[in-house]
Amino acid sequence: MADHLKAIRENVERLLIEIPPSVTIIAVCKTRTVMEVNAAFEAGLRHFGHNYVQEAQAMLSQLSFTADWHLIGHLQRNKSGEAVQLFNFIDSVDSIRLTQELEKRCLQVGKVLPVLIEVNSGREENKNGALPDDIEELAVFISHQSHLHLEGLMTMGPRSGDPQESRPYFVETRRLFERLASQNLANTGMRYLSMGMSNSYQVAIQEGANMIRLGTVIFGEPK
């Protein structure tokens, strides 16, 4: 275990040297242990992501450090109350109905929550995310909420295979990002273009990503 934790720290240190400082790294903590996540924090990471509310709840209750936590997986509306209290960012807003629920929950606890719209840039039936044609309508709707602040867009792209296969997804999402940024919507910062994972983050950065979500290249293959 000591060797594994040392490898995690070395992986993070290498990535922080290789990746431009303008790019935010989110360490993806799904299936990882508290000790592994601690090692990533000790090595310098300050943004962490989880796919599931309940698993994140269990992990955060055991961690002693403070960091920015992102919900990067699909959020069911009935989990919105817990998500609003647990996470600093919701990176996977994909519908007007979810937006309405998040606004209601944020109002209840007096919190203004940064959010990203998840884009189904490949228009894949088995993927979550709003379709590209619906992004502008959703962004305008979010901009009218008092307790949500739109910070950018997120897209997944293929999880494996040739990283170049992800490029069209990233080009499409960057195009949407730039179009929304040019509109200067209220309550909208458009700070983050979140694209790319362990197999594709280099291509994503080439296409303009300034936030990437890394799991395997930090922690190794899941056991």
* Burial group, residue 20, by CB count within 10 angstroms (0-12, 13-18, 19+): exposed
- Residue 11 is assigned to a structural domain of this protein: yes
Cβ atoms within 10 Å, residue 98 = 21
Domain-embedded: residue 48: yes
Q: Decide if 160 is inside a domain.
A: yes
Answer for the pair 114, 149: CB distance below 8 angstroms, yes or no.
yes
**pTM of the entire predicted model:** 0.95
The CA distance from 7 to 2, in Å, is 9
Q: So what's the pLDDT on residue 158?
A: 62
Percent of the chain scoring above 90 in pLDDT: 89
Is 174 part of any domain?
yes
Residue 223 domain-assigned (yes or no) = no
pLDDT at 49 over 90: yes
Residues 134-162 pLDDT 10s: 999 999 999 999 999 999 999 987 666 78
Supply the mean pLDDT for the chain.
Answer: 95
Q: For residue 63, tell me if it sits in a domain.
A: yes
Query: Which pair of structure tokens corresponds to residue 3?
Result: 């060797």
How large a percentage of the chain has pLDDT more than 70?
98
Residues 218 and 7: their CA atoms lie apart, in Å, by 8
Residue 47 lies in a domain: yes
Tell me the CATH number at 190.
Answer: 3.20.20.10
Long-range contacts of the stretch 37-40 (C-beta < 8 A, 24+): 37/63, 38/63, 38/65, 39/5, 39/8, 39/9, 39/12, 40/8, 40/9, 40/12, 40/218, 40/219
Domain assignment present for residue 12? The answer is yes
Range of the domain at 134: 2-218
Taking the CB of residue 187, how many other CB atoms lie within 10 A of it? 14
Domain count, the chain: 1
- Name which of 59, 138, 41, 30 is nearest 154 in CA terms: 138
